[in-house]
Structure 1
Amino acid sequence: MTTLKIDFVSDIACPWCAVGLGALEMALERLQGDVQADLHFQPFELNPHMPPGGQDLGEHLTQKYGSTAEQQTQIRQTIAARGAEVGFEFHIGGRGRVYNTFNAHRLLHWAEGQGADAQHALKKAFLQAYQGRAECIEDAQVLLAAVAAAGLDVAAAQAVLDSDAHTAEVRERQQFYAQAGIRSVPAVIINDKHLISGGQPVEVFEQALRRIASGEVS
């Protein structure tokens, strides 16, 4: 059994991150018995300056990427189909609004110290809330409901939200990955040196992990 350190750099606001995580999970299932993951979720904000209340999704995508409503519908359909392949069901019509995700990243940093698989469980709960149910991911009650769904301590998470806990640590990690050249997500980094970019199919992750674990790729 080979253990691979996997840093999954991503944002809850990124639908492709839900696709990429599902594909990575399926690849690891296929490699069960041969490859074991030491998985860490690292912060990346697509919209770090998004104000409270967020912005209409269509308006945001048009401003940021210049896409039309028709193009956005087509992309949403593509993402939904890719999500279905890895068992993730996106909310029909998209997320509705784009929100600031910094508090979610603070809670994910906190969850990393709450036991094995705690951070992974919370990441999935956040993705289900925002991408799956189009809930307001900047709302404290939505965040705490996800904490409860992940089986974590809601009172401890509330204390994090009521303070500036983990703010400096999240900022530091964001800066580290930005300086390392990460400009888009998901960015999956294996053993601190091998990069798999984007919401790749299961087979791409499986092949890459197998080659790295076997030493074929040094």
Structure 2
Amino acid sequence: MTDPLRIDIVSDVMCPWCIIGYRQLALALAATGTPHDIHWHPFELNPQMPPEGQNTRDHIIEKYGSTPEQSEQSRQQMKALGDDLGFDFAWAEDSRMHNTFNAHQLLHWANTQGRMHDLKQALFTAHFTHRRNLSDTGVLAEIASQIGLDRTEAEAVLTDQRYANDVRRAEQFWQQQGISGVPAMVFDRKHLVTGAQGVENYTSILTQLAQMKG
């Protein structure tokens, strides 16, 4: 019996390429029948984002210098990729980016319950499909309760910020490893792959790793 392949994924739930990359990877894992063990890690695309957030299109134009046309083209590209992967990007004029520090704390707590992966997927859907405000503690607690976690405890975790230092340490660790953009995936603790690579590339990577182990 081969040990499962450890996959560390550094990501932020505001990052569309993170859910695209994960969905592509998941298809490649299924196609190759690779036993695997996924570990999610925090990264904040916009740690200085204020609580009220910012309009997504305005933010992209401001941060990356994109024209409105380029921004729209990028949205359409991501929408098409999402459709192929069974994920709905419901872009709208009022789509907003939000601060995710509390979301990462909730994910850290969910990990102590063995539910981090499930919460991560629920947060991606809440943000991109349902346009929920992920900097709102009430919204975060509600999403946690929807996947079966204790809402009262989720609210307490966010109110007392008990995992704030853990999240900061984890973020600093990955930054010190040279991670400056997401998604960043580390296979078997030593092979770093950045960006959403596509199902074919992930399949090729998994096949090569299996051959190296074999």
Q: Same fold (TM over 0.5)?
A: yes
Q: Is the 8 A contact 1:89 1:132 kept in 2?
A: yes
Q: How does 1:197-208 map to 2 (within 5 A)?
A: 197-208=194-205
In 2, the alpha carbon distance for the partners of 1:178 and 1:92 equals 30
In 2, the alpha carbon distance for the partners of 1:95 and 1:30 equals 37
Task: Give the corresponding residue for 1:190.
Answer: 187
In 1, the alpha carbon distance for the partners of 2:23 and 2:93 equals 18
In 2, the alpha carbon distance for the partners of 1:94 and 1:130 equals 14
Q: Is the 8 A contact 2:138 2:155 kept in 1?
A: no
Deviation for aligned residue 1:56: 1.5
In 1, the alpha carbon distance for the partners of 2:155 and 2:190 equals 36
For the residue of structure 1 that corresponds to 2:160, the secondary structure is coil
For the residue of structure 1 that corresponds to 2:35, the secondary structure is strand
Q: State the identity as a percent.
A: 43
For the residue of structure 2 that corresponds to 1:112, the secondary structure is helix
**What amino acid maps onto 2:78 in structure 1?**
I
Task: Give the corresponding residue for 1:4.
Answer: 5
Task: Give the corresponding residue for 1:70.
Answer: 69
Task: Give the corresponding residue for 1:144.
Answer: 141
Number of matched pairs: 213
In 1, the alpha carbon distance for the partners of 2:147 and 2:186 equals 24
Deviation for aligned residue 1:93: 2.6
Task: Give the corresponding residue for 1:119.
Answer: 116
For the residue of structure 1 that corresponds to 2:122, the secondary structure is helix
Task: Give the corresponding residue for 2:177.
Answer: 180
Deviation for aligned residue 1:94: 6.8
* Unmatched segments (≥5 aa) in structure 1: none
In 1, the alpha carbon distance for the partners of 2:154 and 2:93 equals 27
Q: How does 1:60-139 map to 2 (within 5 A)?
A: 60-93=59-92, 96-115=95-114, 118-139=115-136
* Unmatched segments (≥5 aa) in structure 2: none
For the residue of structure 2 that corresponds to 1:41, the secondary structure is strand
In 2, the alpha carbon distance for the partners of 1:151 and 1:209 equals 33
In 2, the alpha carbon distance for the partners of 1:216 and 1:210 equals 10
- What value does the CA root-mean-square deviation take over the aligned residues? 1.6
The one-character-per-residue Cα deviations of 1:64-96 (angstroms, maximum 9, x if unpaired) are: 111111110000001111111211110133771
Q: Is the 8 A contact 1:94 1:131 kept in 2?
A: no
**What amino acid maps onto 2:10 in structure 1?**
V
TM-score (norm 2): 0.94
Task: Give the corresponding residue for 1:162.
Answer: 159
**More divergent stretch after superposition (185-194 vs 153-162):** 153-162
TM-score (norm 1): 0.92
**What amino acid maps onto 2:27 in structure 1?**
M
In the alignment, structure 1 residue 31 sits paired with structure 2 residue 32: yes
